[in-house]
């Protein structure tokens, strides 16, 4: 094999059409060897090439005879001094941090650790056994792909509706997806899968981690895995577990084809990314990549004892965000997924950890500075999970401009309001109006708030109304894992029941929270499966459950079909009425005390404006919200005023029905019901101002202000039927159509 000097940049293994350049950063290494393998089954490397060129702390060489598909790893020699932060061990083959494809997964054995398992000295001992037969291997990728006329949908933030989903769980049981494509990137853009997303009306999918993960040994021993994927091993390689391809090259092309297919359907692709820790764990973890390449450079070590790691995530380690090379790795990874893979944005897991350069969370840190000035990354959607497990880590509302945030305070308050907790009304009003208290002070807009009631982590919507306590026994940790405080209410019985009244109440509570979510100011995020009444058996931490507990079930009964139709309907309502998609906060004023002539007005059950006494009363659980469609005060891209209907949203979290006096803003006007979470199937009739609207216990109603000159339309169902038709969303999606789609195209 011919060896040329090569170049220190770009890092990783780069095919240029003539050969492959290999470049690896290691500041403290004494020597580096490039190891080539002919097959994933090789017990030993077939060729070991000393890498003698070193510039800018990068070890590099060029192999003119190497080609795409070449399997490779590195051996890196240096001091093994855990007390000083160094854990080099040249007996271990290591994965390239910049590997763009995975040619072989980790094969768990004791040789994967840099120290001797079972030794009294634990991680201070040294293991001299070779791991070449078991180490994960990178593979050289040919990035060529025909994108055709692919263009990012570029949906404005205020028009974005996010659908959080797992690549495998979404299609694994879908009978309309070809069997060989189920649970894969290809399956996600099969006609049956795309039909569901398009009929639902979402504009973006937020994929749980798709960077190649490592399944922890202790989970494998229990017959489990890191199903969610928050255990990243390779930050530039798509997870091969979700591919129906046979090679890494084909896996990359399959991922790109998925993105292209979603874009063609008008759906953006947002990736949930995990840069706050790696799969190598704490000082007792295996040596697979960063630890053996340069532990002290890549990881944040304890200033008191460099043997140990600073851990703000509960996962054992954390990247050293003060290192320019770590920042480079993260930025190179992000740019790769945008420029090469065409993704549209990122959701950063435990993002507060990325802002800890010293100890405190610093929103002026280098990570944000570099990201904001980057010409590629500054233009994509950036979402923070604005907390970590360290002191001061809860940073909801404190991220810089250009960022949106998962609004955990929205989730908690909406859950408590519909559970019936007292004293929630004032904050509930603030949350559904965009959380101006959290975001307006930094000149951000309502779409800085990613609103959600459920997500992958915690109870899904069905279980939120069916369980008071978590039931995580299947995870093998004696129910110790997962959150204990879920703000859930089982409606009277823990878990499954045959009680018809409880089942009816649970479904109504689900509709209440879903309607609240979709009709709130900000960006709604819906958890996949909530629209089809998916249950996880009370497990609120399904991170390790790759089975029917987490896979979506597409064999719907009538209740599931009705729920899908309902969610589709409220999404159509949001798209039809611009008052639900405001780009600015309400006149920049406090929500409380708004005048009736303003763009927003809160109405008491007597039809009058809410007073301070009502706001401060702990027992009040019913309120009306009037949004004036003529006073939005915004313009479209062509400079034309945005106007829509004036609507009245009635919310009753009380356990008894209430007769709500409807206001009379215009003489002879009437209120036309568009939605009622307590009436299905049934006929909703118009009600004149000054009359009472009967809002059932624990329910929501939405009415539109109409004048006699507008033709009266009869409504049937939870959501007005013509709302869907008006938006050209009237493709048949009834039970017959759904069953037909399951039979394949």
How many residues comprise the chain?
745
pLDDT band at 363 (very low <50, low <70, confident <90, very high): low
- Cα angle, residue 218 at apex, residues 167 and 124 outer, rounded to 5°: 125
**Confidence at residue 742, expressed as pLDDT on a 0 to 100 scale:** 61
pLDDT at 712 over 80: no
- Cα angle, residue 535 at apex, residues 529 and 536 outer, rounded to 5°: 110
Q: What is the number of other CB atoms lying within 10 angstroms of the CB of residue 671?
A: 25
pLDDT band at 115 (very low <50, low <70, confident <90, very high): very high
CB 349 within 8 A of CB 456: no
Pairing of strands 232-238, 268-273: unpaired
Measure CA of the first residue to CA of the last residue in the chain; give whole Å. 50
The answer for residues whose C-beta is within 8 angstroms of residue 653's C-beta and 6 or more apart is: 417, 418, 420, 424, 512, 621, 622, 698
**Confidence at residue 355, expressed as pLDDT on a 0 to 100 scale:** 82
**Segment 192-212, tens digit of pLDDT:** 999 999 999 999 999 999 999
pLDDT band at 348 (very low <50, low <70, confident <90, very high): very high
Pick from 163-172, 400-409, 596-605, 630-639: least confident = 596-605
DSSP string for residues in 3-54: -B---S-S-EEEE-SS-EEEEEE-SS-SEEEEEEES-TT-SS-SEEEEE-EE
CB 592 within 8 A of CB 429: yes
Q: How many CA atoms lie within 13 A of 499 on its CB side?
A: 13
- Cα–Cα distance measured from residue 276 to residue 524, given in angstroms and rounded to the nearest whole number: 25
Residues marked active site are found at: 349, 385
Which residue has tokens 């990243």? 232
CB 187 within 8 A of CB 255: no
**Segment 316-326, tens digit of pLDDT:** 999 998 899 99
3-state secondary structure 146-159: CCCCCCCCCCCHHH
364 versus 578: the higher-pLDDT residue is 578
Q: What is the mean pLDDT of residues 10-27?
A: 98
**Segment 471-503, tens digit of pLDDT:** 999 999 999 999 999 999 999 999 999 999 999
Pick from 76-90, 450-464, 678-692: least confident = 678-692
Pick from 112-116, 363-367, 470-474, 478-482: least confident = 363-367
CB 155 within 8 A of CB 162: no
**Confidence at residue 421, expressed as pLDDT on a 0 to 100 scale:** 92
Q: How many CA atoms lie within 13 A of 114 on its CB side?
A: 32
Class of residue 284 by CB neighbours under 10 A (exposed 0-12, middle 13-18, buried 19+): exposed
Nearest CA-CA partner of 76 in 58, 101, 62: 58
pLDDT at 719 over 90: no
- Cα–Cα distance measured from residue 704 to residue 255, given in angstroms and rounded to the nearest whole number: 44
Pick from 21-35, 257-271, 279-293, 381-395: least confident = 381-395
pLDDT at 302 over 90: yes
Q: What is the chain's alpha carbon radius of gyration, rounded to the nearest angstrom?
A: 28
């Amino acid at each position: 094999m011919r060896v040329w000097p090569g170049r220190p940049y770009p890092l990783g293994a780069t095919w240029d059409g003539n050969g492959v350049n290999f470049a690896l950063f290691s500041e403290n290494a004494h020597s580096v060897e490039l190891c080539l393998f002919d097959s994933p089954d090789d017990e030993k490397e077939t060729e070991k090439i000393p890498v003698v060129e070193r510039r800018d702390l990068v070890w590099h060489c060029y192999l003119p005879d190497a080609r795409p598909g070449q399997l490779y790893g590195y051996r890196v020699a240096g001091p093994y001094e855990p007390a000083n932060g160094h854990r080099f061990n040249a007996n271990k083959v290591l994965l390239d941090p910049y590997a763009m494809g995975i040619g072989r997964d980790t094969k768990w054995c004791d040789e994967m650790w840099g120290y001797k398992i079972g030794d009294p000295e634990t991680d201070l001992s040294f293991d001299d056994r070779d791991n070449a037969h078991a180490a994960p291997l990178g593979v050289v990728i040919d990035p060529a792909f025909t994108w055709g006329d692919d263009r990012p949908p570029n949906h404005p933030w205020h028009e974005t509706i996010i659908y959080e989903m797992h690549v495998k769980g979404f299609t694994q049981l879908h009978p309309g997806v070809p069997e060989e494509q189920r649970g894969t990137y290809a399956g996600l853009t099969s006609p049956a899968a795309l039909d569901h997303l398009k009929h639902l009306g979402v504009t973006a999918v937020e994929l749980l981690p798709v960077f190649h993960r490592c399944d922890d040994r202790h989970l494998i021993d229990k017959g489990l895995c890191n199903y969610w994927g928050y255990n990243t091993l390779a930050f530039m390689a798509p997870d091969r577990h979700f591919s129906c391809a046979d090679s890494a090259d084909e896996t990359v092309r399959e991922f790109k084809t998925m993105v292209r297919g979603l874009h063609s359907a008008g759906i953006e692709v947002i990736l949930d990314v995990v840069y706050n820790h790696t799969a190598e764990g704490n000082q007792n973890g295996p040596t697979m990549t960063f630890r053996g390449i340069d532990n002290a450079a890549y990881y944040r070590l304890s200033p008191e004892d460099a043997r140990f790691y600073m851990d703000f995530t509960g996962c054992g380690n954390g990247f050293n965000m003060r290192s320019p090379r770590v920042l480079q790795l993260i930025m190179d990874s992000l740019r790769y997924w945008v420029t090469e893979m065409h993704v549209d944005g990122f959701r950063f897991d435990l993002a507060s950890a990325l802002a800890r350069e010293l100890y405190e969370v610093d929103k002026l840190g280098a990570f944000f500075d570099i990201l904001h000035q980057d010409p590629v990354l500054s233009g994509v959607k950036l979402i923070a999970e604005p907390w970590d497990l360290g002191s001061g880590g809860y940073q909801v509302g404190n991220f810089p401009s250009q960022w949106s945030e998962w609004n955990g305070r929205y989730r908690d308050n909406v859950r408590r309001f519909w559970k019936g907790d007292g004293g929630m009304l004032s904050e509930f009003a603030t949350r559904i109006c965009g959380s101006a208290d959290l975001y307006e002070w930094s000149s951000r807009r309502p779409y800085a708030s990613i609103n959600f009631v459920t997500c992958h982590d915690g109870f899904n919507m069905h279980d939120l109304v069916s369980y008071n306590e978590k039931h995580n026994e299947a995870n093998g940790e004696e129910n110790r894992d997962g959150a204990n405080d879920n703000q859930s209410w089982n409606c009277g019985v823990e878990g499954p029941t045959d009680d018809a009244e409880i089942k009816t109440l649970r479904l109504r509570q689900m509709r209440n929270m879903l309607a609240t979510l979709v009709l709130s100011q900000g960006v709604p995020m819906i958890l996949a499966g909530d629209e089809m009444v998916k249950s996880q058996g009370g497990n609120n931490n399904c991170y390790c459950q790759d089975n029917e507990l987490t896979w979506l079930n597409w064999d719907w009964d009538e209740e599931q079909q009705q729920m899908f139709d309902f969610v589709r309907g409220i999404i159509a309502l949001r798209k039809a009425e611009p008052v639900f998609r405001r780009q600015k906060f309400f006149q920049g004023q406090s929500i409380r005390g708004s005048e009736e002539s303003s763009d927003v007005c809160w109405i008491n059950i007597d039809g009058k404006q809410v007073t301070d006494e009502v706001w401060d009363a702990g027992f009040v659980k019913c309120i009306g919200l009037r949004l004036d469609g003529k006073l939005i005060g915004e313009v479209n891209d062509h400079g034309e005023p945005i106007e829509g209907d004036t609507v009245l949203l009635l919310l009753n979290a009380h356990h008894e029905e209430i007769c709500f006096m409807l206001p009379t803003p215009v003489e002879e006007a009437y209120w036309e019901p568009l939605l009622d979470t307590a009436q299905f199937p049934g006929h909703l009739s118009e009600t004149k101002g000054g009359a009472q609207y009967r809002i059932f216990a624990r329910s929501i109603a939405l009415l539109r202000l109409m004048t006699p000159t507008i033709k009266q339309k009869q409504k049937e169902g939870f959501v007005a039927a013509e709302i869907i038709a008006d938006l050209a969303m009237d493709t048949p999606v009834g039970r017959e159509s759904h069953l037909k789609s399951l039979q394949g195209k």
